[in-house]
Structure 1
């Protein structure tokens, strides 16, 4: 019999002076979207100067649904509010498809000022 248990969701955070790095593993969905928002918001509100950029690494992402996408939009709102640029690294095909279908990639990766994409799709750390 095949085991269809979902991949366990996990978020790992590393905070350097100018960059907040967030690694997402598992399914970003209805059950986990708020966790991602809360973790990012907590680190953005920490003492000290806010980071210049927030890098979210999706190498271990196995699934995303509309609630997961809404969580990414909220993360973008939070990063923009502190003047940081959001970068979406190592996007798997499941995330690429959702971003293409909803046409929000440019919005999510716009610079903190909202002046165009902040991370070109052909950059080395991002899957095309």
Structure 2
């Protein structure tokens, strides 16, 4: 019997608005990245009150370019909803990939406030933008 960690992928979702936490186990790769993306997208679509999305990489065993692509898409979707993406418990190999590809700062930048509507003082039109 081997003491090597399992590479079977699981994404365990815990949603307690305004926080979504997804705990990742195993390899995040071509075969599994859609599962992660779908899990996060489903939660963001069904609960618009989410403000923080935490991805817990404490039990991640590997990541490839498809996994990185999924992280970039998750960042795009969290930013669109005004939520902030957090990359928690990153193993060294993930940090190296994020530094080599120069996306760590991009992925962990706090989300801008979602657009809101403001009435113009004379009531003629509505402006869309960030207050």
Fold shared per TM-score above 0.5: yes
Is 2:48 the partner of 1:57? Answer: no
- Write 1 or 2 for the structure with the bigger share of strand: 2
Which of structures 1 and 2 has the bigger CA Rg?
A: 2
* Contact residue 48 and residue 81 of structure 2 kept, 8 A: no
- Cα distance in 2, alignment partners of residues 8 and 55 from structure 1: 21
TM-score, reference length from structure 1: 0.81
- In the alignment, which residue of structure 1 is the partner of 2:93? 94
After TM superposition, the runs of 4+ consecutive aligned structure 1 residues lying more than 3 A away are none
Deviation of 1:37 after TM superposition, in Å, equals 0.5
Distance in 1 (alpha carbons) for counterparts of 2:95 and 2:11 = 20
Q: What residue is the counterpart of 2:109 in the other structure?
A: 110
Match of 1:80 in 2: 79
- Consecutive unaligned residues in structure 1, runs of 5 or more: 115-128
CA-based RMSD of the aligned residues comes to 2.0
Equivalenced residue count is: 112
